[in-house]
Amino acid sequence: MSKHIHILGICGTFMGGLALIARELGYRVSGSDANVYPPMSTQLEASGITLHEGYDPSVLDPEPDLVIVGNAMTRGNAVIEALLNSTVPYTSGPEWLGREVLRDRWVLAVAGTHGKTTTSSILAWMLECAGLEPGFLIGGVTANFGVSARLGQAPFFVIEADEYDTAFFDKRSKFIHYHPRTLIFNNLEFDHADIFDSLADIERQFHHLIRILPSQGLVIYPAETSSVERVLAKGVWSDTLSFGPSKEASWVYSWKDRVQGQFAIESESGRFPGDSALRGDYNLSNITAAMLAARHAGVQPEVALAAVQSFRNTKRRQEVLFDKAGITVVDDFAHHPTAIEVTLAGLRDQYPGRRLLLVLEPRSNTMRMGIHADTLAEATRLADERFWLTSPQLKWALTPERAQGLVFPNSDALIVGLLPHIVPGDVIVCMSNGDFQGFKPKLLTALEERYV
């Protein structure tokens, strides 16, 4: 009989992807989570994985062969206390993945504050289109593959390399366990204020990652980015390759036609044109980084950029939820001022001449703590109108003056307040890294009733 793994916190994107890979390897997999709901629950159940809602210690009877503990689990949780009082072996998700899957693979890791999911998805698709059938574990359901993770064929494995901590018993960043050969170091800003005290703390974790890269490895990084340069100045023992819009970069990207999505990437090796449905400078940066990582794995730039033409973005990354009666609703995951600003700039390119109505929920731990409270309004300046959803979890006062927009206490009030402002031609942009308190399905229903 196959060995039994039980996963605590299984419905998160990382742990859910881990469960799918464990199932592919032949393990019998079950899992627990505080909230078991689609689409992750249906994806897991379709793979033969048994799910338990809640964290009752009974999931340890009979004892599994191994428990994998998600980083949302804390001391005091009943199942964690039962686990520690037992003799059942346990480990973290990143450590298990590094030991059981990544140890013998060529790991291509995508790290940085912003763009990890999109860049990882583009890179995996480039390798797929080159016939390499990569494995991957990405923090979202990729539209091209339809799943967030798969084992794939050796040697290549693409992973979204998160700097968040590993588990309650291992406070190192997750990416320390991955041992990449190819590293995209996309950008670096202050985030995750619940576990990091400063940008310097985060830079230290990235330096630890750089220290374990092989000398035959490659670090791909954006030129003229001070935080990244500070990390590299602490020491780098691998090859490096810079990219960016500046001539100071080794590889330079530029738009030929922003509206049509036509661009070019060039270096001393040549000039490589491409086109994409993705818009915005940040997406062109992501494409360039992915192309350079694919090139390190042996994929020619022409092949990699041809794959971009058929790339479909991950869910909740500028995902169009509604496009009828001249009204478009776009869903995006952005939850940091920089990500909000660059996403709005990209949407300006994609929808020229149309009004942008931004609906935003400050939902991440960092947002709730108020770290970005005084920079949020400036980050939203490209929106024509702003509508904010607050919650009791916010530790700061989200006032209309501070938000430079309308503020609502719940999703029902937000719907009532938003609808009179919508006219045909508008693009409504929804930004949150959570469920938006059920706002989005309510909005789509209201738009269907009013305009269709």
Encode the chain (452 residues) as per-residue pLDDT tens digits: 689 999 999 988 899 999 999 999 999 999 999 987 777 788 888 888 999 999 999 999 999 999 999 998 999 999 999 999 999 999 999 999 999 999 999 999 999 877 888 899 999 999 999 999 999 999 877 888 888 899 999 999 999 998 889 999 999 999 999 999 999 998 777 665 567 677 888 889 999 999 999 999 999 999 978 888 999 999 999 999 999 998 889 999 999 988 788 999 999 889 999 998 887 788 899 999 999 999 999 999 999 999 999 988 766 667 888 888 889 998 887 667 777 887 888 888 888 889 999 988 877 666 666 566 667 777 788 889 888 887 777 766 666 677 677 888 888 888 888 888 998 999 999 888 767 777 888 888 888 888 76
Who's near 325: CB < 8 A, 6+ residues apart? 424, 447, 451, 452
**How far out from the chain centre does Cα 18 lie?**
15
The domains of the chain, with CATH numbers, are 4-91 (3.40.50.720), 104-308 (3.40.1190.10), 319-451 (3.90.190.20)
Amino acid identity of residue 267, one-letter, is S
Widest CA span in the chain: 63
- CB of 281 closer than 8 Å to CB of 90: no
Sign of CA dihedral 395, 401, 402, 403: positive
CA 104 and chain centroid, separation: 25
Q: What is the pLDDT of residue 363?
A: 73
- Contacts of residues 438-443 at CB distance under 8 Å and 24 or more positions apart, as own/partner, are 438/411, 439/359, 439/361, 439/389, 439/411, 439/414, 439/415, 440/321, 440/329, 440/331, 442/411, 442/412, 442/415, 443/322, 443/329, 443/415, 443/418
**pLDDT in the model for residue 190:** 60
Q: Phi, psi at residue 109, to the nearest 5°?
A: -105, 140
Q: Which of 362, 350, 355 is nearest to 424 (CA)?
A: 355
CA gap 253, 45 in Å, rounded:
43
pTM for this model (two decimals): 0.79
Give the pLDDT of residue 313: 72
CA 390, CA 293: separation in Å to the nearest integer?
40
Pull the structure tokens for residue 380: 């939203």
394, two tokens: 């916010």
In whole angstroms, give the CA distance from residue 372 to residue 378: 10
Q: What is the pLDDT of residue 114?
A: 77
pLDDT at 75 (0 to 100): 95
CA dihedral 47, 53, 56, 61 (to 10 degrees): -30
Sign of CA pseudo-dihedral 94, 100, 103, 106: negative
For residue 63, the SS3 value is coil
Alpha helices in 157-280 (DSSP H): 199-211, 226-233
Shortest CA distance to 161 belongs to which of 202, 111, 212? 111
